[in-house]
Structure 1
Amino acid sequence: MSEIRSTPDTNRQAKLQAFDRLLTIMDELRENCPWDKKQTIESIRHLTIEETFELSDAILEGDLNEIKKELGDIMLHLAFYSRMASEQGAFDMADVLNGICEKLIIRHPHIYGDVVAEDEETVKANWEQIKLKEGNKSVLGGVPKSLPALIKAMRIQEKARGVGFDWDHKEQVWEKVEEELGEFKAEYHTAETIDKEKATAEFGDVLFSLINYARFIDINPEEALERTNKKFITRFQYLEQEAAKAGKKLSEMTLSEMDKYWNRSKGL
């Protein structure tokens, strides 16, 4: 193993002291707080998921202060899991940190070894090849089954690209998008009856190809869709508020009447 090359960090001691403070507080809570004493690795899992989504929201909002707070919450959870595992003699925080350090060194041979990688694509390809050597039976084996479908599609495509299974040019990908859209439209747009199972599969192909194209033009489709969600919520809530001011109920309005408010919301 190559020696880790460190860069000067004038705040390193303060960071180590803060981390030690967190571990100390976690120990004290685990030993003295009725709620913390009761928790198990399984019982806080859903809370960790919630905190991760809260961090995601803060990132999308570009709110660095909230990002800092949410990172603190997640750091607490990491300390909590490590403390509970140490009680079972499984591992502790040192094992966790040393484990990720070793993995990073092994998977960056262009930094800690003699492998040459001058661009991002080569780094990704090396990463996937190393994972296979570590025992992964499939390049796609590391994609969590419980990932949301849109993010899972992104990760599947990225990992396939890492071993060369990908298109060469974005124009080829767009042709695939048009092909899938054309097939879906021809089959279902004018059909009086639809085989829902087959249509669902075909629609999935359309979405998968669009996600693939987004990746080729460096757009994060998850972020893009979430921005549209937020935009729709803002405009719809404006519609609700303005309709209420006018003494109207949405359920009693025509689409044409609602569109007037909707179009006004676009100027916000």
Structure 2
Amino acid sequence: MSEWRGVAQGCAVIVGVLLAGLAGAGIWIAVYMQGDPQPDVAKAARSHTARAADLLVTAHVDQQLAQLRTALPWATHLGTTVADICETYPANTGFTRRTWTPVMCTRTGTAYLAFDGDFREHLAQLDTALAAEGWKPTNNAGDQPGLVADLDYTHRPPGDATAAELAEAAARPNVATVRYTLPIPSTFAVPPGAGGGPFPIGTVEVAQAPHLPTIDDGTAAHDLTLETRHFVDWQPYSHTQLSTAYPAHGAILAISVRLPYNT
């Protein structure tokens, strides 16, 4: 009897050790998986490095938009939006220790202008003005990439098109959108690990009435309250304000410049 009692006690000790080990492992896993604390985005945005970089970025974005506005005397300035955002993201997913990306900021300035007259002719003039500023289109529509090529591609019917298909292609909205790579200023460095291609990035969208540009100017993100995001600057220009350009004008163009910087 005492022999069985000893065996039972031994089993109880083993089970206790196993349970304690599992509990300890669970606590260790919980602590490990909790990972690093989220960086203080607002504090990073106020750092000396971020403030100095933001001054350079702001000057460059404003200069790019101002130079293009000057080069387009036939267009009337409606308004300009600014979205200067600092963010961090979880650096990994799944069953791994949670870490965070370094806080990185991006300033986006978007100028909205209205114009009248021949839509395609003004697109050609805009192509010329953008090329003079060193903006290089990244679209591959047509033989000569740019806004005119994008418009032509939009209205291109399929091969051996029927009369109905020709009519449908011709009736498509007059909207052209092109992304660009811009010359990188020598006054600052591109943030390391910043994906998405060369920086800065430009986007131009032109829409004929009654359509409005749908370009993402960054200001809509202000409505999303996230602890991982901090707005350094936010100057919106709503679609309601934008729509007041019609019917006084026949078309609206949006020119956007996006440039990241370190903290």
Larger Rg: 2
- The structure with the largest strand share of the pair is 2
Name the TM tier (shorter chain): under 0.3
Q: Tell me: higher relative CO, structure 1 or 2? Use CA pairs within 8 A at least 6 residues apart.
A: 2
- Calculate the TM-score normalised by the size of structure 2: 0.22
